[in-house]
A = this chain, B = another copy of it.
Amino acid sequence: MSILINKDTKVVVQGITGRQGSFHAERMIEYGTQVVAGVRPGKGGEWVLDGKVPVFDSVKIAKETTGANTSLVMVPARFAPDAMLEAADAGIPLIICLTEHIPVQDMMRVRSYLDQKGVRLVGPNCPGVQTPGECNIGIIPGDIAIPGNVGVVSRSGTLTYEVLYALKNVGIGASTCVGIGGDPINGTNFIDVLQMFQDDPGTDKVVLIGEIGGTDEEKAAQYIADNMNKPVFAFIAGKTAPPGKRMGHAGAIVEGGAGTAEDKIKALQAAGVQVADHPEQIAELIKG
């Protein structure tokens, strides 16, 4: 079992004709993901990736023609807000946006619109979602995770790979791995994913990978204390990050004394979460 995506997920890739888009779409297909369509306005009717994927002028047409039910957005930042709105307007219920550097005000408008449409967005500025063995949407390497019963949710990219890889090395697999992204305004937060994992019969344990900035980890801790009976393991990056500086991710910043790693770790521990000192330790903690 899994959350968000599985072997039946049909993906439309917005920006499939770009360098990044075509490269990763190819990897996704190799993984076994059903990439049923690409979108590039003005290129409708063409086929890409050696004729494997048809391109459409809009998400609406792509969805009507192929039945796509998930969109992967890999267009440049200045086009990404419209790309998400387009997918939502076309009735796509799940949008995964990898694009980094989207202006915050744009994201506030997009998120408001998506909420009103009841559309789930994962990202932006995230590595994507992977249900090992079934479906891989985004840029999480296909060979670093094996199927299993641990749900993983993270604000980070390579740090997540690190944890997945450490789990794999001790023979532990993942039900689904969700990268929620490093931006201050995103679509899906920890609580959303924790709830899905709690409800997913295929997930027995959960790993949460957080970092400095905002208060989402603190809210997640509260949620865990109130609503979860599955064990949760966590790592929080940024203990040594200085205040007032964005640590690469737009959302990773300690501002006005809020958003420190210490606060988050304390909150999680108080909620019964085992917090690792370093990412590789997660695997040891889970193995027990």
Contact = CB atoms under 8 A, between A and B. Distances in A.
Interface of A: 115-116
Q: Shortest 2 CB-CB distances between A and B: which pairs?
A: A116-B116, A115-B116
2 contacts: A115-B116, A116-B116
Contacts of A116: 115-116
Nearest to A117: B116
Contacts of A115: 116
A115 B116 CA distance: 9
A119 to B, nearest CB: 13
A115 B117 CA distance: 11
A116 B116 CA distance: 5
A115 B113 CA distance: 12
A156 B144 CA distance: 67
A116 B111 CA distance: 13
A206 to B, nearest CB: 32
A115 B115 CA distance: 12
A109 to B, nearest CB: 13
A197 to B, nearest CB: 28
A262 to B, nearest CB: 36
Nearest to A116: B116
A85 to B, nearest CB: 14
A116 B115 CA distance: 9
A112 to B, nearest CB: 8
